[in-house]
A and B are shown apart, each in its own frame.
Chain A
């Protein structure tokens, strides 16, 4: 039976890195190539030994697909392509291709320059890796080769995130990456058509949660900012310059207007440069509704938000500043942080995940004393707030996606089986499909039952239907006879005559002959007549003819009588029949061997 194999690479229970291997129709595809952000050693890389013990991966993989730019999905890509070795195509959407190298470089700088690690990819490796990237557009089918095709769908979650549909022949798989089913303010919700893949592969990380509303997260953000401003404090919001930052800006702007607040809001210049660049990427990627808003809301046309000058950081009184980079690991946001950290009236709001080794990561872990350059310590007295705005699907979202795509099987990765039994039961009950949950390093094998579509010639169809009986019942298959011709990529069912004609072959007719000895003193014609009478009484319902040329025919079986040369009282019957009448022919020869009954005239 044909089957699809899915293996999440990695070991044990570790969640936090995505790298999934799929074998479908003879093709091997790697889905995502993430870095595990919790490890400092080689355990952070996916375990490629499953693919091959040593040597390059090019011969073993048909393609690599990256779902979005988060490091736990693409962080190990340069390591895989340049240090382990892979020269084949790497597919990702345009925004992902633009943003990935920037995040990878930032990540590399932090890990190598700040933490002094050695077994890591270089800047050149990132560049070489990105040269292998083939960008994808939404809803556009891409032929990876003659048999493998892929298509990207909108996933929401972050700019450029995609769900991928992979098809080989009539088998297919959809991989969701990270997605969300409730629209975000600047991103919209994931969407896929009823593509009915054999397997829908998704993360189980959020499958057993119920998300708090976006409204409440935003409320918390505004409440914290407002409380700080009211007590005269300064609020620093380190951001990476796209999407989320613009959303928070618009939120604050609207709030300031509503509440008639006077404290200044700034965004740093580094932000505006990046914003312009990504803004362009943005508007081709998001939907009509959102595009309209951001066309109206140019980053530079805020009423309450102004460009920042570094001298403003020393101004007295409350203010809010958006600054890059997002993890406080360098640059302007770190400079501002150093100035403001010592005052407990101030606040820093971290809107996302921070990589190990950054100041952001340290303060989010509760560190209140930081070692800075030149052995100086910084006392962290300001309020630290960690807020998660990332858009993820939850338990309800997974059910909605399954309803949309109608997969034949469901597969969840990165979950503990005992903590997923209820969800598995729920999916099985509601959709009557199997739900697989392979552990890391374990392979799930899913048997597919592909339908092979075959064209049938009209004449054959008519002939088979004319064979009688009622019209075919869709629930009861009926056997039919024909010849299957496989030509190029098409399959055709035709009658044997037509097949022979197409092949330029002659049809051979098979006839069997058999001699039966009979004791009969009559003349040849009389014996023949007696045979005719006998058969007519035995074989009722068959066509039996006594022909003028001295033969008896039963269907297509020919019977001749001649006298035996050796014995004058014996007759030799010659029976001949075609292959189609084999059964009847054998029956007749057995019957006639028994002799003719005496009462015949």
Chain B
């Protein structure tokens, strides 16, 4: 162990990180995950995606992260494996049902869903309790899943726009089916209110429908510039404030288009060309997300090994190139990948629902990072302001 070994940790990224992050935690799972889902304020669920047996884990975040007042006195930096279980196949989608200890998963190979009980204080084993049949038996893509707080619990799911249905968890009854002619593969599915949901198709179109009515959904066609082989992902920001009801669509060529959720037919509000490595995007792993606690702030991952944060402030209708406000390069820099020929890429990321700048990100080498970034433009105009 030469000086070099100590110098290796004092690389540029490390030195920079002293100023650019408030908190930084780096973990190594035994197997990579492409799902990270909050199951409570302090716990997340992750799961493996290898073709045979995998583990599904509920992890408690380190106490130090939450010890705001006496942070210095808390030395606890580790994840705690609160509950764990085994799956028979890959887990490519995982959704927690709010208000319950249930999660629903999909293996990406068929449209059927598996239902799991995360367990309580009396057991640390996650057990499979049932399944929900999808509409199609053979589906190449697998289903997207959405849930919101409801009693009794309900799941919205589908592999393509014509398959979307709302199923009651305990009875298996279908409560709602989306009536539409188009059968486009889905790349996102989420509730924007209790009854209204948004489905993003991989061809770039987006539709909004209400599960209480059988009225036709509102449709927004793919952005004009979309080419044939371009894929799209979408995320809607949900909040009480009127200006926060927006949809962002991101293409595999790095084009980001923002629309008003309430006026979908009205076309885009603004757009930008993002600085992403378009040749290395993995279909399954691209994520785009609005920051829940910051205005005009989005995050992008899956194009390579970096998680990028952009501000949409100042975007216009002109397709201008924009630079990210912040980049998390931790997965690339600390890569534990043994096979150098395949560069590490991010597989998932999520924002903490309440802490404004805390994110969790995962990568193909099994790493999971928890980071709280420092806004580089703290005093400058146009920087994302935390919501009060």
Enumerate chain A interface residues (CB-CB to B < 8 A). Answer: 185, 206, 208-213, 215-219, 222-223, 226, 250-251, 254-255, 258-259, 289-290, 292-293, 296, 364-366, 383-388, 394-396, 399, 418-423, 425-426, 429
- Closest Cβ of chain A to B321, distance in Å, is 32
Interface status of B175 (Cβ within 8 A of chain A): no
Does B29 count as interface, using CB distance less than 8 angstroms?
yes
Q: How far is the CA of A532 from the CA of B384 in the complex (A)?
A: 116
Measured CB to CB, the closest approach of chain B to A347, in angstroms, equals: 9
Which of B9, B24, B121 counts the most chain A CB atoms within 10 A? Answer: B9
* A180 vs chain B, min Cβ distance (A): 13
Q: Are A212 and B62 in contact (CB under 8 A)?
A: yes
On chain A, the residues within 8 Å of B124 by CB distance are: 208, 418-422
Known contacts A212-B27, A386-B74, A418-B123, A254 near B6 by CB under 8 Å:
yes
Instruction: Determine whether the beta carbon of A215 is less than 8 Å from that of B334.
Output: yes
Indicate whether B169 reaches chain A with its CB closer than 8 angstroms.
Answer: no
Interface residue count on the B side (C-beta < 8 Å): 44
Specify which of A293, A421, A425 is in contact with B2 (CB 8 Å cutoff).
A293
* In the complex, residue of chain B having the shortest beta-carbon distance to the beta carbon of A394: B78
With contact pairs A208-B81, A213-B27, A216-B25 given, residues A384 and B73 touching in the complex (Cβ less than 8 Å): yes
Is A366 in contact with B81, judged by CB distance below 8 angstroms? no
Known: A388-B77, A426-B84. A213 touches B15 (CB 8 A): no
Instruction: Tell whether A366 pairs with B86 under 8 Å between CB atoms, given A212-B27, A425-B125.
Output: no
Report which B residues bind A (CB closer than 8 A): 1-3, 5-7, 9-10, 14-15, 17-18, 24-30, 55, 59, 62, 70, 72-81, 83-86, 121-126, 334
Other than the known A219-B24, A418-B122, A421-B125, what 16 A-B pairs have Cβ atoms closer than 8 Å? Answer: A210-B80, A212-B62, A226-B18, A254-B7, A258-B10, A289-B1, A364-B73, A384-B73, A386-B72, A395-B30, A395-B81, A399-B30, A418-B123, A418-B124, A420-B124, A429-B86
Determine the distance from Cα of A370 to Cα of B74 in the docked complex, in whole angstroms: 20
A575 to chain B, nearest CB (A): 70
From known contacts A216-B24, A422-B124, A426-B55, infer whether A209 and B9 are also in contact, taking CB-CB under 8 Å.
no
A396 and B70 in contact, given A258-B15, A290-B1 (Cβ under 8 angstroms):
no
Among candidates A212, A364, A384, A419, residue contacting B78 with C-beta atoms closer than 8 Å: A212
User: Do residues B86 and A425 form an inter-chain contact, with CB atoms below 8 A?
Assistant: yes
Hey, which chain B residues are within 8 Å of A426, CB to CB?
55, 84, 86
Residue on B nearest A211 in the bound complex, by CB: B78
**CA separation between A255 and B14, bound complex, in Å?**
11
List residues of chain B with CB within 8 A of the CB of A429: 86
Residues on B with beta carbons closer than 8 Å to the beta carbon of A383 = 72
Contacts of A387 in B (CB 8 A): 75
Q: Across the two chains, which residue of chain A brings its CB closest to B24?
A: A216
Contact (Cβ within 8 A) B26 A216: yes
- 9 A-B residue pairs with Cβ-Cβ distance under 8 Å, sorted by A, are A209-B78, A212-B62, A213-B28, A215-B14, A215-B334, A219-B18, A254-B3, A386-B74, A423-B81
Task: Indicate if the CB atoms of A366 and B73 lie closer than 8 Å.
Answer: yes
Contacts of A419 in B (CB 8 A): 124
B residues near A293, Cβ cutoff 8 Å: 1-2, 5
A75-B26 Cα distance, complex, nearest whole Å: 34
CA distance A479 to B24 in the complex (A): 66
B80, A209: Cβ atoms closer than 8 Å: yes
With a cutoff of 8 Å between Cβ atoms, the chain B residues found around residue A395 in the complex are 30, 81
Instruction: Decide if A210 touches B28 in the complex (CB within 8 Å).
Output: yes
> Are A422 and B125 in contact, with the CB atoms below 8 A?
yes
B70 with A422: CB separation less than 8 A:
no
A212 to B64, CA, bound (A): 11
Which residues of chain B have C-beta atoms less than 8 A from A290's C-beta?
1
Task: For A210, give its contact among B9, B79, B126 (CB under 8 Å).
Answer: B79
How far apart are the CA atoms of A218 and B11 in the complex, in Å? Answer: 13
With a cutoff of 8 Å between Cβ atoms, the chain B residues found around residue A366 in the complex are: 70, 73
Judge whether B334 and A210 touch: CB under 8 Å: no
Give Cα A293–Cα B15 distance, bound, in whole angstroms.
Answer: 23
Residues of A within 8 A of B62 (CB): 212
User: A209 contacts B14, CB within 8 Å?
Assistant: no
Q: Give complex CA distance A423, B124 in Å.
A: 9
Within the assembled complex, what's the spacing in Å between the Cα atoms of A20 and B13? 46
Residues of B with C-beta under 8 A to A385: 72-73
Q: Measured between alpha carbons, how far is A49 from B255 in the docked complex, in Å?
A: 74
What residue in chain B is nearest A254 (Cβ atoms)? B6
**Complex: how many Å from CA A110 to CA B15?**
40
Bound-complex Cα distance A292 to B5 (A)? 13
- Report if A209-B81 is in contact (Cβ < 8 Å); known contacts: A226-B18, A429-B86: yes
Q: How far is the CB of B360 from chain A (nearest CB, A)?
A: 13
Which chain A residue lies CB-closest to B370? A212
CA distance A582 to B6 in the complex (A): 84
| Complex Cα spacing A418 to B122, Å | 6
Q: Which of A226, A255, A289 contacts B10 (CB 8 A)?
A: A255
In whole Å, how far is A233's beta carbon from the nearest beta carbon of chain B?
14
Contact A210 B17 (CB under 8 A): no
Chain A neighbourhood of B14, CB < 8 A: 215, 219
Min CB distance, B84 to chain A, in Å?
A: 4
Do A259 and B73 touch across chains, with their CB atoms under 8 A apart? Answer: no
Which A residues are CB-close (under 8 A) to B70? 366
Chain A residue contacts of B76, Cβ below 8 A: 388
CB of B80 within 8 A of CB of A208, answer yes
Chain A residues with CB under 8 A of B2: 292-293, 296
Q: Of all chain A residues, which has the CB nearest B5?
A: A185
Residue from the list B3, B18, B26 in contact with A215, Cβ < 8 A: B26
Question: Is there an interface contact between A212 and B25, defined as CB atoms closer than 8 Å?
Answer: yes
Verify B6–A250 contact, CB threshold 8 A.
Answer: yes
Lowest 10 CB-CB distances: which A-B pairs, in order? Answer: A422-B84, A212-B77, A210-B79, A388-B75, A213-B26, A293-B1, A385-B72, A209-B78, A386-B75, A254-B6
Measured in the bound complex, the distance between the Cα atoms of B86 and A423 in whole Å is: 11
User: Of A185, A210, A255, A422, which one neighbours B85 at CB under 8 angstroms?
Assistant: A422
**With A185-B1, A213-B334, A258-B10: A421-B75 Cβ-Cβ less than 8 Å:** no
Residue from the list B7, B27, B73 in contact with A386, Cβ < 8 A: B73
